[in-house]
Structure 1
Amino acid sequence: MASAEFDQAAQAVKELTTDPGNEVKLRLYGLFKQATEGDVTGSRPGFTNPVGRQKYDAWAKLSGTSQEAAQEQYVAIVRDLTSP
């Protein structure tokens, strides 16, 4: 997959006019992190940081997914969100 397509999708997410909801945003976050950094690192945030914990979990679910596969899934979701 061309990373240019991934970069365009990442930009399109910033320009969304409607909120896709937390579930989709967490999925996109996890895929973006997996695509750009690989498997999750560090320790899971504590219960006093519920947002950080959700983000960590969304990313951790994708452990073992190749960066290319994560990019493809990310682009596919963004395509669905931005198509009329």
Structure 2
Amino acid sequence: MKPSKLEEAVALTQKFTSKPSTEELLKLYGLYKQATEGDNEAERPGGFDFKAAAKYNSWLAFKGKSKAEAAEEYMGLVEKLAEKYI
């Protein structure tokens, strides 16, 4: 079975030769979660788990965006980052 364009974009991120910034990584995470799961309905993580809170907030920032829109935005961001990190 042929991988979807979203799966291909995820695979492309594995080829990055250097690590994107924290801000870029969080945006990728939020868009990916929105594209694959839709709106964030999870419970907010505890106060001292800063990494989990940042990821939660990044996903929450895309609330209301359709899965298709989020997938398109994710793929566009991966292409842009690929120029910088491959």
TM-score over 0.5 for the alignment? yes
TM-score of the pair, normalised by structure 2: 0.89
Partner in structure 2 of residue 40 of structure 1 = 40
**Residue identity matched to 2:28:** L
Ranges in structure 2 where 5+ consecutive residues have no aligned partner: none
Q: What does 1:61-80 correspond to in 2, within 5 Å?
A: 61-80=61-80
Deviation at 1:19, TM superposition (A): 1.1
The superposition leaves residues 15-54 of structure 1 with CA deviations (integer Å, 9 ceiling, x where unpaired) of 2111110000000000000000000022111221000000
- SS of corresponding position for 2:4: helix
CA distance in 1, matches of 2:49, 2:83: 34
CA distance in 2, matches of 1:80, 1:42: 29
Equivalent pairs, count: 82
CA distance in 2, matches of 1:81, 1:28: 10
CA distance in 2, matches of 1:47, 1:15: 34
Tell me whether 1:60 sits opposite 2:32 in the alignment: no
**Runs of 4+ off more than 2 Å:** none
CA distance in 1, matches of 2:55, 2:14: 17
TM-score of the pair, normalised by structure 1: 0.91
- SS of corresponding position for 1:83: helix
Deviation at 1:81, TM superposition (A): 1.3
RMSD (Å) for aligned C-alpha atoms: 1.3
